[in-house]
Amino acid sequence: MKIMQNSGEPIYKQIAAQFRDDILAGKMENGEFLPSIRGLAKDLKISVITTLKAYEELEAEGLVTAVQGKGYYVNARDTEMLREQHLRKTEELLLEAIAAAEIAGMTDEELKNTLDTLLRLKGEE
């Protein structure tokens, strides 16, 4: 796990984002335990509170569940919840793309054509 100390994003958000991405990409299996709060804090040389905050954020999103005395485990088999998470991520990235296109001076039609082209190219892989 990589943490950027000089990033504008809080460390707990960086941790949560990396676990979220791994869970949504299927890199972490349902029922798999996350590293212990103390262990991760020690490895990353950060506060236990920071790690706990990241895990609590993932729990609030329904991606992990806490088991007293054992830690947090992945709870990502709810396919509808996973779909919603992916849709939300897609919407965020598309909004970023729209903002970048506006800065570049692209028209809506140019942006749509670019997306169509990329989808076609992906289909040819």
Query: Structural domain boundaries of the chain?
Result: 11-74, 79-123
> Does residue 82 have a pLDDT over 90?
no
Query: 86-125: per-residue pLDDT in tens?
Result: 788 899 999 999 999 999 999 999 999 999 999 999 888 7
pLDDT averaged over every residue in the chain? 90
Q: What pTM was estimated for this model as a whole?
A: 0.67
Judged against a pLDDT cut of 80, whether residue 80 lies above it is answered with no
Pick the CATH number of 11-74 from 3.40.50.300, 1.10.10.10, 3.40.50.720, 3.20.20.100: 1.10.10.10
Q: Calculate the alpha carbon distances from 51 to 70, 100, 118 in Å.
A: 15, 33, 38
State what percent of residues in the chain have pLDDT above 90: 63
Tell which phi-psi region holds residue 121, choosing left (phi > 0), alpha (psi between -120 and 50) or beta.
Answer: alpha
pLDDT of residue 13 exceeding 80, the answer is yes
Identify which has the larger pLDDT, 93 or 80.
Answer: 93
Q: What is the pLDDT of residue 101?
A: 96
Give 76's pLDDT tier (boundaries 50, 70, 90).
low
Residue 16 has pLDDT above 90, yes or no: yes
- Using only C-alpha atoms, the chain has a radius of gyration, in whole angstroms, of 18
Instruction: Look at residue 85 in the predicted model and tell me its pLDDT.
Output: 76
Q: What is the DSSP string of 55-123?
A: HHHHHHTTSEEEETTTEEEE----HHHHHHHHHHHHHHHHHHHHHHHHHHT--HHHHHHHHHHHHHHHH
